[in-house]
Chain A
């Protein structure tokens, strides 16, 4: 009896190990990755005195510490950077959604400041369940001191519930507003400001394989007609022009489709119309929106345009749509273009995903970006998004960190890593010099007549994170044949104004 039991247990263990091994060898990572990183005060690389920061950025091999010069214009920040380090040893917690490369870059952005002030900045990097964890912490009455959010809608919802500090009372509101002219309006209500804009992304970019484009003689399209002509040419050459993921897996499926529609609305109808659409003065059933869906449908549903067809759009993980592009080391792409924001990068390239080592493909040499082509020359607008810092607990050292993140230096080390744009308009232009990604982003932003903020992030959550996503997924599932029903369903779901 005992022997039998023993044999069975051994077998059980073996089967178990097999199951686990199968799971581990699969290529796709688990859905809810989370990690916690903290920046100890002693671990930063550079210890150059703050005074020489501005001068020596280019000259020395080791970059100067990314710390603003006193006086900064903010009270607590000046205090924190004072010689007596009044906040030395105090801890400030901040919750973000950034993991992987983005997590490392944000940790680097605050590391020099932590060293200079002695403030311990504890970063809770949550990943895909960031919003859920944050809501639980806020509703539970034990919020982190600070939190980054990409969507203004929940920030305003938390503000309405009295959970967010009015930053106009925590720092000079005029300086803050003046330095963040493009983004502060998203979180401003009258004299109250519910957040500190931190980092911006340009969404109007299409990623493509530079060398393969040259080898095939494809030209970067500047207009919608050229884009369609190029797509047809690629189809004629025997491959599929587009790599598309709706943004899945799971509940995230749909957000990239909303980006497509927003982009086309901005480029066909202009900013005023776009903003009326966000506030539902223009309905989804308006001819202009319907026309935008038709244009997006032209790309998504034309036969052979999208690698894998409609099914691939909804079934492809947002980390993998460009994988077919990397066939034979980018020499023979099976799909050629992906519309995805500037924050995209090596984290999503197949070699880095598989090995965890830095990708061998260089952005700007192997893989590049071009601006989403103009559709109506009179409506040359671009789409952007911004990460905003919410202050949830008011303590002097928390104020100091929030004020630091409002300065250009708060994002300087991320800019040095070549993949962030500060929302602060006083950021020196030469900080961006040499970084390909930022050059393209700056080019788009400078040429654009106006920048529209991600509409789905501004619509009520029921629509912007709900029906706008689910219904466009239905739309793709049906191959674009139910446009009218989909648009009506989104309009019907709009919550009544109270």
Chain B
């Protein structure tokens, strides 16, 4: 609204703004042209070098050598300027155009002007490919309608995959939430709270792939009698046991992989819960204590119900992660040991088996499975907003 107000003010800005806008538009178009040309960055920098009299540098650049790094940096700056400045110009430009309309129309159109680009991007990059994927899942390789891609899902090969995803969903989400809750509740009462929380929270900074590689070393197996380089088997052997191939033995391997996710996500759950617990009013807690509640009763019967909203949010977030889980399985075993999951199979179907239809069917299945979780999350969000 501030923008609209400024364009309506009389005087110099009435001329300055349109002119500046036109110049900006010209720069944007020029920037786009440079970005679209594969050699754009190098050529532009070469022209600048020519203008500055550095002919040798310019020739090097045009031949693909010389200061290519600077050319790339230049491209990055242009991309940033066009991206941010272009959107800014678009909003201001269209905003000032709309402001010329009557007040009645202006108020109706203006929200769409600002929401429009985001909606358009959403349509192009999310809705269109999603619809395409669903469509493809009902087609065979010749483009004819078929249900065969979904029919195979009842074969044992695929039911096992679906079963594994359910295990991930229940165990992964459950363990992360319960552990997060326990840590949040306990750390609330110790002196070095931030230190303890930092330690639990740290793994979240590690990528799923990185975590899988790290845990791959924990689970590593060597034949009995060889030095065990894996932590877990080193412990097992130290206590006189036989080394266990953790990642190759079904169904332990699924649990071992879930542990990696729990290690990462517990910190996230704990931080959210911890903040919510701090938000529970001291009066309520004091009242419960006065009524004779034990500490455990206080936590389970008073605090947990009061932070129910956070628990639902965290649980649904982690549930979506477990449904879509890919990285951990791909890195540790590739799903070769009865531990395959939907997302990994989807990747294999498309990149190794060239089965686009079946991969699309798996993607559709995953999409449908995530929808109810999203719905719970949104409903919870709305309820919290209504309360707030």
Which residues of A line the B interface, CB within 8 A?
4-5, 7-8, 11-12, 15-16, 19, 22-23, 26-28, 30-31, 40, 89, 91, 120, 131-132, 135, 154, 157, 248-254, 307-309, 311-312, 314-315, 324, 460-462, 465-466, 469-470, 473, 477, 493, 498
| Cβ-defined contact, A27 with B221, below 8 A | no
- With CB as the reference atom, state the residue of chain B lying closest to A158: B354
Q: A324: which B residues are within 8 A, CB to CB?
A: 226
Instruction: Pick from B131-139, B333-341, B366-374, B376-384 the stretch touching chain A.
Output: B333-341
| Cβ-defined contact, A251 with B352, below 8 A | yes
| Cβ-defined contact, A498 with B141, below 8 A | yes
| Cβ-defined contact, B63 with A89, below 8 A | yes
Q: A248: which B residues are within 8 A, CB to CB?
A: 334, 336
| Cβ-defined contact, A23 with B213, below 8 A | yes
- With CB as the reference atom, state the residue of chain A lying closest to B333: A250
| Cβ-defined contact, B337 with A466, below 8 A | no
Q: B353: which A residues are within 8 A, CB to CB?
A: 460-462, 465-466
Given contact pairs A91-B64, A466-B348, A250 touches B330 in the complex (Cβ within 8 A): yes
- A121 shortest CB reach to chain B, Å: 12
| Cβ-defined contact, A465 with B195, below 8 A | no
- A158 shortest CB reach to chain B, Å: 9
Q: A30: which B residues are within 8 A, CB to CB?
A: 213
Which residues of B line the A interface, CB within 8 A?
63-65, 141-142, 157, 194-195, 198-199, 202, 205-206, 210, 213-214, 216-217, 220-223, 226, 229, 245, 247-248, 330-337, 348, 350-355
Cα(A473)–Cα(B253), bound, Å: 15
- With CB as the reference atom, state the residue of chain B lying closest to A40: B65
Cα(A498)–Cα(B229), bound, Å: 50
Partner of B355, one of A307, A309, A462, A473: A462
| Cβ-defined contact, A120 with B64, below 8 A | yes
| Cβ-defined contact, A311 with B337, below 8 A | no
Partner of A314, one of B142, B248, B330, B351: B248
Partner of B202, one of A7, A16, A465, A473: A16
Q: A498: which B residues are within 8 A, CB to CB?
A: 141-142
- B61 shortest CB reach to chain A, Å: 13
| Cβ-defined contact, A251 with B64, below 8 A | no
Cα(A89)–Cα(B59), bound, Å: 12
Cα(A455)–Cα(B210), bound, Å: 35
| Cβ-defined contact, A15 with B199, below 8 A | yes
Cα(A324)–Cα(B348), bound, Å: 33
Q: B248: which A residues are within 8 A, CB to CB?
A: 311, 314-315, 477
Cα(A127)–Cα(B226), bound, Å: 30
Partner of B245, one of A89, A311, A461: A311
Chain A contact residues: helix, strand, loop or mixed = helix
| Cβ-defined contact, B336 with A473, below 8 A | yes
- With CB as the reference atom, state the residue of chain A lying closest to B62: A89
| Cβ-defined contact, A251 with B354, below 8 A | no
In addition to A7-B195, A135-B350, A466-B352, 13 A-B residue pairs with Cβ atoms within 8 Å of each other are A12-B202, A19-B202, A28-B216, A28-B217, A131-B351, A135-B351, A251-B330, A252-B334, A254-B336, A311-B223, A311-B245, A315-B245, A461-B355
| Cβ-defined contact, B213 with A250, below 8 A | no
Cα(A460)–Cα(B199), bound, Å: 49
- With CB as the reference atom, state the residue of chain A lying closest to B338: A474
Q: B354: which A residues are within 8 A, CB to CB?
A: 154, 157, 461
Given contact pairs A15-B202, A89-B63, A465-B353, A250 touches B331 in the complex (Cβ within 8 A): yes
Q: B226: which A residues are within 8 A, CB to CB?
A: 308, 324
A sample of 14 cross-chain residue pairs with beta-carbon separation below 8 angstroms, ordered by A number, consists of: A7-B195, A16-B205, A131-B352, A132-B351, A135-B350, A248-B336, A250-B330, A307-B223, A315-B248, A461-B353, A461-B354, A466-B348, A466-B353, A469-B336
- With CB as the reference atom, state the residue of chain B lying closest to A467: B157
Q: A4: which B residues are within 8 A, CB to CB?
A: 194
Most buried by B among A91, A157, A311: A311
Q: B247: which A residues are within 8 A, CB to CB?
A: 315
- B212 shortest CB reach to chain A, Å: 9
Q: B202: which A residues are within 8 A, CB to CB?
A: 12, 15-16, 19
Q: A493: which B residues are within 8 A, CB to CB?
A: 157
- B189 shortest CB reach to chain A, Å: 17
- A150 shortest CB reach to chain B, Å: 13
Given contact pairs A15-B202, A477-B248, A31 touches B331 in the complex (Cβ within 8 A): yes
- A144 shortest CB reach to chain B, Å: 14
Partner of A26, one of B195, B206, B217, B222: B217
Cα(A31)–Cα(B355), bound, Å: 25
| Cβ-defined contact, B337 with A461, below 8 A | no
Most buried by A among B142, B348, B351: B351
- With CB as the reference atom, state the residue of chain A lying closest to B244: A311
Cα(A411)–Cα(B247), bound, Å: 41
Q: A27: which B residues are within 8 A, CB to CB?
A: 229
Partner of A11, one of B198, B223, B245: B198
Given contact pairs A135-B351, A309-B223, A315-B245, A19 touches B214 in the complex (Cβ within 8 A): yes
Partner of B221, one of A154, A315, A461, A465: A315
Partner of A251, one of B65, B223, B229, B336: B336
| Cβ-defined contact, B199 with A23, below 8 A | no
Q: B335: which A residues are within 8 A, CB to CB?
A: 251
- With CB as the reference atom, state the residue of chain A lying closest to B63: A89
- B266 shortest CB reach to chain A, Å: 16
Most buried by B among A250, A253, A466, A493: A250
Cα(A87)–Cα(B249), bound, Å: 57
Partner of A465, one of B216, B217, B352: B352
Q: A311: which B residues are within 8 A, CB to CB?
A: 221, 223, 245, 248
| Cβ-defined contact, B199 with A251, below 8 A | no
Q: B65: which A residues are within 8 A, CB to CB?
A: 40
Cα(A120)–Cα(B64), bound, Å: 10
Cα(A324)–Cα(B224), bound, Å: 13
Cα(A250)–Cα(B141), bound, Å: 28
- With CB as the reference atom, state the residue of chain B lying closest to A334: B226
Q: B352: which A residues are within 8 A, CB to CB?
A: 131, 251, 461, 465-466
- With CB as the reference atom, state the residue of chain A lying closest to B247: A315
Cα(A129)–Cα(B330), bound, Å: 12
- B80 shortest CB reach to chain A, Å: 23
- B227 shortest CB reach to chain A, Å: 11
Partner of A253, one of B194, B206, B334: B334
Q: B194: which A residues are within 8 A, CB to CB?
A: 4-5, 8
Cα(A120)–Cα(B229), bound, Å: 45
- A357 shortest CB reach to chain B, Å: 22
Q: B221: which A residues are within 8 A, CB to CB?
A: 311, 315
Cα(A355)–Cα(B256), bound, Å: 31
Cα(A308)–Cα(B351), bound, Å: 33
- B159 shortest CB reach to chain A, Å: 14
Cα(A498)–Cα(B198), bound, Å: 58
Cα(A40)–Cα(B66), bound, Å: 13
Given contact pairs A16-B205, A466-B352, A250 touches B223 in the complex (Cβ within 8 A): no
Cα(A157)–Cα(B354), bound, Å: 8
Q: B245: which A residues are within 8 A, CB to CB?
A: 311, 314-315
- A26 shortest CB reach to chain B, Å: 5
- With CB as the reference atom, state the residue of chain B lying closest to A474: B338
Most buried by A among B214, B335, B354: B354
Q: A251: which B residues are within 8 A, CB to CB?
A: 330, 334-336, 348, 352
